[in-house]
Amino acid sequence: MGRRVAFILASIHEGTSVRMWRRLLSSFDRERDAVFVLPGGRLGFQAGDEYLRNDIYPLVTARSFDGLVAWASTLGGQVSVDEVRRFIKGYEALPTVTIGLKVAPEVPVVDFDAYRGFHALVCHLVKVHRKKRIVFLRGPENHSSSQERYQAYQDALAECGIALDMDLVSSPFPWGDGRGALEEIMTTRGLVPSLDFDAMVCASDLMMFSAVRHLEELGVNIPHSVAVGGFNDSETNKLLRVPPTTVRMPVEAMMDQALRNMNILMEGGSVEDSRLESSLVVRRSCGCSDSFGGEDMAKDRIEGLDGFLDWAIGYCGGRLERDDLEFFSVYALRLKNPSRRERDSFLSRFASICSRFFERGGESEDLVEVFHWFSVLLPMDPALADFCRQNLDRAILENYSRQVGQEEYERSIQTGRLNAFKVALLSARSHEALSQTIARDLPSLGFRQCYIVLARETGWRLIAGYTPLTGLVQAEDFSKDCILPPRYDELTCRGAFVVEPMIQDRECVGHVILEVDQTHDEQMVEDVVASIASALKGVRLLEEAREAKD
């Protein structure tokens, strides 16, 4: 029987958590073991009643799981770092790997160097763009990496001979409230963009996103009036008008390393702490027109094919496969004065690279940048280099449009199925009818298994759901230290599952467990669970009305 690993984190639908969640689904060996993702919110976080989600964390017990991966740094914000450490230590019965925060000497951590990347960002703005009045939007105070970024900001200014001006530094704000932090700078302190500050760096891309939107609403030109930089390289960046310069957090590499370390621990081995590098990703929001600051600087930095491949893979955050790009580059270097047929073959191979890149969530701007330098830096045939400069940008946009169209088509189909599922749920008048509706309609959305569990005073009650082998589940009570009744252990010892709390009337009444794969985006999961919770509330109200009538 496969082993079960729990992965706890605050969220799967905000900032870098989206990348972490998607990497987990694409890389975890679901044929061998099982992973249960529990997005239980930040500890004690009051805003939006997020703390209610914390009720799913006690589901992680030694009876149900063989190991725990905890993205510990996401759990703070309301409570102190020491409180997060104490919380994670409560799982000491399980082999544990943490991400982003060291909690105890005996618990290995996978961390990253936020300091160096943010230091490079601030120095880039000062040394390359001659910025001297740089606003810093601070992240949460109870977050170790947030403090690293603040320290990097201070040290970079000092090294560049610029005195720290606290009027340019916001108070600590939540990761998503860049607008609030910027309003403090502009409204409370009366600072005017372009006149009182010429650049802005943000502790996270979530902060940058809302702050940039606010600046654009005010008519501030980015980067000409205010240069901007962020941190994380989040999915939301592609929605900004000007591609943002940011520091890439090595999310995918951290997830991979954490899973490797967990496998070693579960097999009885030992592992050391891991610390990965963050990297500056130069785009246009800082004022640069390219990644290097000109062709001469690019040629100074990139040496040969291996140097180009290393830079390109890093720049695209691993969304370009090295083998793909290396094969394509070697093929290009061998072509001499290519014929029409060879050019067509060249574009066909290029289209395959584009498709795989966009399927992994890559951005067209990044691919345009890489293949601009591909034609400039590699010693290819002049005729082919000219052909690349004239055709690759268009080919990238064509492939991107095709990928977007395909995704929109698939999304429309899924939306139709989801809406039909929601309508069907409205007709459920009992737990049995609800279970039948879910078993009939939810598989069309790709969910192979579903379990709906309600809280009881002394344990849990499985009330509805289905499996691919047994069909409808049977209602039954079970112990609090089990995530499901033992009869379902073999059905849930392989695969990927998400455990979502059900919140009703400011109370966590239970949870839903869904088997997922890489086709399931985080918003669909949240939507399905919210719909099930709403239907359950409707059933409960009907039952209460019947009892009152009787």
DSSP string for residues in 315-382: HTTT-S-HHHHHHHHHHHHH--S--HHHHHHHHHHHHHHHHHHHHTT--HHHHHHHHHHHHHHS---H
Summarised one tens digit per residue, pLDDT across range 161-195 is: 999 999 999 999 988 899 999 999 999 999 999 99
pLDDT at 293: 75
Average pLDDT along the chain: 91
Q: Which residue has the tokens 């992973």?
A: 35
pLDDT at 479: 93
Residue 432 has pLDDT above 90, yes or no: no
Instruction: Break the chain into its structural domains and give their ranges.
Output: 1-107+444-550, 114-251, 294-407
Highest mean pLDDT among 83-97, 347-361, 372-386, 531-545: 83-97
Angle at which helices 382-426 and 340-359 cross, to 10°: 40
Q: Could you give the percent of the chain with pLDDT greater than 70? A: 100
Model pTM above 0.75: yes
Kindly list the distances between the CA atom of residue 356 and the CA atoms of 318, 320, 350, 353, 422, in Å, as whole numbers in the listed order.
12, 8, 10, 5, 33
What CATH number should be reported for the domain whose range is 114-251? 3.40.50.2300
Name the helix (H) or strand (E) containing 395. helix 382-426
Summarised one tens digit per residue, pLDDT across range 89-134 is: 999 999 999 999 999 999 999 999 999 999 999 999 999 999 999 9
Tell me: cis bond preceding 223? Omega within 30 of 0 counts. yes
- Judged by average pLDDT, the poorest of 302-306, 354-358, 396-400, 537-541 is 537-541
Residue 407 has pLDDT above 80, yes or no: yes
Residue 550's pLDDT band (boundaries 50, 70, 90)?
A: low
* Cβ density class 8-32: b for 16+ within 10 Å, e for less: bbbbbebbbbbbbbbbbbeebebee
Pairing between β-strand 199-202 and β-strand 134-137 as defined by DSSP bridges: parallel
The Cα–Cα gap between 120 and 278 comes to: 10
Residue 361 has pLDDT above 90, yes or no: no
Contacts of 405 (CB under 8 A, 6+ apart): none
Q: Report which residue type is found at 242.
A: V
Average of per-residue pLDDT across 366-382: 89
Residue 144 has pLDDT above 90, yes or no: no
Summarised one tens digit per residue, pLDDT across range 462-511 is: 999 999 888 899 899 999 999 999 999 999 999 999 999 999 888 889 99
Stronger pLDDT, 159 or 145, i.e. the higher one:
159
Residue 455's pLDDT band (boundaries 50, 70, 90)?
A: very high
Across the beta sheet with 227-229, the strand order is 134-137, 199-202, 227-229
The Cα–Cα gap between 410 and 521 comes to: 12
Stronger pLDDT, 56 or 76, i.e. the higher one:
56
Contact of 514 with 525, CB cutoff 8 Å:
yes
Biggest alpha carbon distance in the chain? Answer: 88
Summarised one tens digit per residue, pLDDT across range 205-250 is: 999 999 999 999 999 999 999 999 999 988 788 888 899 999 999 9
pLDDT at 298: 87
Residue 538's pLDDT band (boundaries 50, 70, 90)?
A: confident
The Cα–Cα gap between 396 and 460 comes to: 52
